[in-house]
Amino acid sequence: MSAAADDRDLGLNEGERGLLHGLAAFAQEAVAPLAAAGCGDQAWAGAQIREACRLGYAGIEIPADCGGLGLPYYMRARAAETLAATDFAFAFAFINQHNVALRIAEHGSAAARERYLPGLLAGDLVGGTAMSEPRAGSDFASISTLARPRDGGGFILDGEKAWVANAAGGELALVFAQTDAARGPAGIACFIVDLRAPQCERVTGAPLEGLGAAGIAGIRLNGYAAEDSDVLYPPGQGFQMALAGVNKARTHIAAMAAGLLDSALRQAVRHASTRQAFGRPIMEQQGLRWSLADVSMRLQILRMLTDRAAGLIDAGSDEAVPAAAMAKKYAGEECLDAISACVQVLGASGLLPAQGMARRLLAAKALCFADGTTEMMNERIAAGLAQRFAGGPRTIAAGAAIHREESMSYQALKLTRGEDGVTQARLAQIAEDELPEGEVLVEVEYSSLNYKDALAITGRSPVVRSFPMVPGIDFAGKVRLSADPRFKPGDAVLLNGWGLGETRWGGLAQAARVRADWLLPLPAGMDARQAMAIGTAGYTAMLCVMALERHNATPEAGPVLVTGANGGVGTVAIALLTGRGYTVTASTGRPQEADYLRGLGASGILDRSTLSAPGKPLQKEAWAAAVDCVGSHTLANVLAGMRYGAPVAACGLAQGMDLPATVAPFILRAVTLVGVDSVYAPMALRAEAWRRLAAELPRGMLEANTRELGLSEIAAAATPMLEGRIRGRIVVDVNR
């Protein structure tokens, strides 16, 4: 009987039960022989990890469209428990491997997903996560591995990481590094590193006693070059994403502790039931029986705490933070003592290598500090106490406090995804406590509907990284509560991007709780509705104009082409460019809107079909600058038609993500392709873009170009937006 075969299986479907039983059988066959080695003799279990991958177990929580099984986190926690019942170190190594695959599936670039995921799922690549350093563990913000931007793109990494699972023989590591020490946690980024590169040295000493199978080693990076496509979390996200993953890591440790304890208890009970003393099985000695009863109860409590934390993680609840900390703390404090009680039952034979008890004792000690010490767990648990029991200050991850008034509930558009993989959008009431952590609670007045929101709401592309999700990549509103001195109740603010509506709850709700670092004061002379009429699309249009100007575009140089002209970005780009004196040609698939585009200032209209099919690598030199919202063949043709030295600002993918172009425009006409990203643009650039939008965008243009909808009408507008049937902007009055 395995650790998986308990009453909790009743809540699983047949496939899930089958998976856990298969995993237990695999562990017995392939991992148990490892566990028989002495504490110091175990080698890295690379071959067994690769075999488990080949059997499909590395894909448990990986989304189905990335080649995984798409199961909830709970199943991965159960898998960790099942494996740890045979060998804790193997379970630890394997969960690290799964974690690397999941982080890349959820957050890697398309190129990274293509390059690494198949190998990770098949076991050809094995990896671990590198957070700690020789001089930085729990104090993660103080890591000193440095990532410097490289001329021409990418980063150069230097520094040393410690205690990296699978680093003894694996091929990959997710390396957290500092890009700008002055920014502290906001400078931390994460990179996918190929450990086989010559600039990467493994620092292997004697294996940790009892944990040899996990292949824990250090890594020294000496000028390692990471491509942009290998940036897993850009600066500003690394710290937050590391913390976001920590609830799962802690819950895994607790689940593995339950597996450890389960196997120790079984062994002790088996021994006590057969071993005779004073003419009867020792199990009949009351003192010993009670001791095992106590272990059994502790195991049940540990499982209940672990299951609760896993359930809250799957529900996307903030309560997962203290719940995971409680499970981990309990595991750390109880497991060592409980296993020791099991060893007591076995007597001296309990220390024979074949019994595996010494290895379990060492593992039980290791889990007191892996993924956060017990002291750190106390901090996480204590952080929520005042809020919960005294209505007092709420301490958040960054250490700030929000002073609470009465707890409110808010209406929101909520996205869920069922077992069939279909995204459902519905209006729901969310409690203030459910909102993600952050220093500032904003009562949203207006949000807007953007192309990315439409993708999220329809589920047509994997924009949403975890469910349930409140979509909405931007909002404007008033601060209700703030724990940050830069904002006070009543301040008018706006926010674009930073993963809202993708990795954390966004603006299509009556309230949002966010990091203070992400908020901008509403520019003078602009109200919340106007800001959202401009929205992320208009702000991106301004980023495009600024990018062209940084690359020497001038009105005198010649005509500017705007593709996707009738869309949110396109319309604002036309108005901004013509307002600055440029001559603009609008490329559109809707010639019937030509008058409207001319009204915005466009002097020429181009049928988009002239750009959307494959074309020659070099064409007539027509454009002195271009804003492209469309990508794919359109962008390739735009590049081919640029004048010598002209810049193209690329921000969109309405036709496609691909770019079937040649290098000819770059090497023969010195054309510059400038990427524009609105989501993680630096704050200084954002502030400048919004200041200029307030000053330069004609207000009348916005009104004529904007439709207003209520929260309940948004879901129905998503598909028409993806089909290009919506002209201009949609603002959302979240209180309507």
Q: Which stretches of the chain bind ligand NDP, using CB under 6 A?
A: 450-452, 536-537, 540, 564-570, 588-590, 608, 612, 629-630, 634, 651-655, 676-679, 721, 724
Residue closer to ligand NDP (CB basis): 87 or 628: 628
Question: Which residue(s) pair with 500 in the sheet?
Answer: 504
- CB of 259 or CB of 497, closer to ligand NDP: 497
Pick 268 or 602: Cβ nearer ligand NDP: 602
Least distance to ligand NDP from the beta carbon of 202, Å? 38
Cβ closest to ligand NDP, residue 470 vs residue 565: 565
Burial 131-159 (b: 16+ CB within 10 A, else e): bbbeebbeebeebebbbeeeeeebbbbbb
Report yes or no: 408 and 511 within 8 Å, Cβ to Cβ. yes
Question: Could you tell me the smallest distance in angstroms from the CB atom of residue 638 to ligand NDP?
Answer: 11
Q: Least separation, in Å, of the C-beta of 636 and ligand NDP? A: 12
CB of 198 to ligand NDP, least distance (A): 35
User: Which residue's CB is nearer to ligand NDP, number 58 or number 721?
Assistant: 721
Q: What would the DSSP string read from start to end of 169-184? A: T-SEEEEEEES-GGGG
Minimal CA–CA distance to 254: which of 73, 65, 108? 73
Q: How far is the CB of 616 from ligand NDP (least distance, A)?
A: 19
CB of 474 to ligand NDP, least distance (A): 10
Residues with Cβ < 8 Å from 333, sequence gap 6 or more?
Answer: 368, 374
Cα–Cα distance list, 584 to 560, 578, 579, 665, 672 (Å): 5, 7, 10, 21, 19
Contact status, residue 529 vs residue 731, Cβ threshold 8 Å: yes
Residue nearest to ligand NDP according to CB distances in the complex: 567
Of the candidates 360, 367, 365, which has an alpha carbon nearest to the alpha carbon of residue 86?
A: 360
Q: Which tokens is 637 given?
A: 């043709």
Tell me whether residue 82 or residue 632 sits nearer to ligand NDP (CB atom): 632
Give SS3 for 718: helix
Which phi and psi angles does 498 have, rounded to 5°? 55, 25
* Closer by beta carbon to ligand NDP, 305 or else 463: 463
CB within 8 Å of 498: residues ≥ 6 apart: 236, 514, 515, 518, 679, 680
CA distances from 135 to 132, 159, 252, 404, 672 (A): 8, 11, 25, 37, 43
- Classify 76 in phi/psi space as left (phi over 0), alpha (psi -120 to 50) or beta: alpha
Closer CB to ligand NDP, 245 or 535, in the complex? 535
Q: Which residues contact 580 (CB under 8 A, 6 or more apart)?
A: 545, 555, 696
CB of 725 to ligand NDP, least distance (A): 8
Residue 226 vs 456, nearer CB to ligand NDP: 456
Closer residue to ligand NDP in complex, CB, 84/630: 630
* Number of neighbours of residue 676 by Cβ within 10 angstroms: 22
The least distance separating ligand NDP from the CB of residue 425, rounded to whole angstroms, comes to 18
Minimum distance from residue 705 beta carbon to ligand NDP (Å) = 11
- Cβ at position 415, least distance to ligand NDP in Å: 18
Q: Is the peptide bond before 468 cis (omega within 30 degrees of 0)?
A: yes
Positive or negative: CA dihedral 198, 200, 205, 206: negative
Q: In this complex, which beta carbon is closest to ligand NDP, that of residue 46 or of residue 471?
A: 471
Q: Is 214 exposed, middle or buried (0-12, 13-18, 19+ CB in 10 A)?
A: buried
Structure tokens at 649: 């600002």
Q: 364 vs 541, which CB is nearer to ligand NDP?
A: 541
- CA angle 251-213-335, nearest 5°? 40
Q: CB of residue 647 vs ligand NDP: minimum separation in angstroms?
A: 16
Backbone angles phi, psi at 621, to 5 degrees: -75, 90
Cβ 593 to ligand NDP, closest distance in Å? 7
CB-CB contact of 145 with 159 (8 Å):
yes
